[in-house]
Amino acid sequence: MTKQIVCADAGMDCSFVVQSESEDELVEMVTLHGEHQHDVEMEKNDIRDLIKPA
């Protein structure tokens, strides 16, 4: 099943959305996005809490 993370769900004014069947891939992609686009580091568990069905 495809899952997604929407950056705006983390409180950012951002249209970034990432989808994958792999939760580990979602976490990695959001980690990189947060660091490069928002200059923030998030805990992996906090990122996992943002995962929803696509």
3-class DSSP string for the chain: CCEEEEHHHHCCCCCCEEEECCHHHHHHHHHHHHHHHCCCCCCHHHHHCCCEEC
Q: What is the pTM of this model?
A: 0.92
What's the confidence (pLDDT) of residue 51? 98
What's the confidence (pLDDT) of residue 41? 95
What's the confidence (pLDDT) of residue 2? 98
Which two tokens mark 25?
């891939």
Residues of the chain with pLDDT under 70: none
Q: How far apart are CA 3 and CA 30, in angstroms?
A: 13
What's the confidence (pLDDT) of residue 33? 98
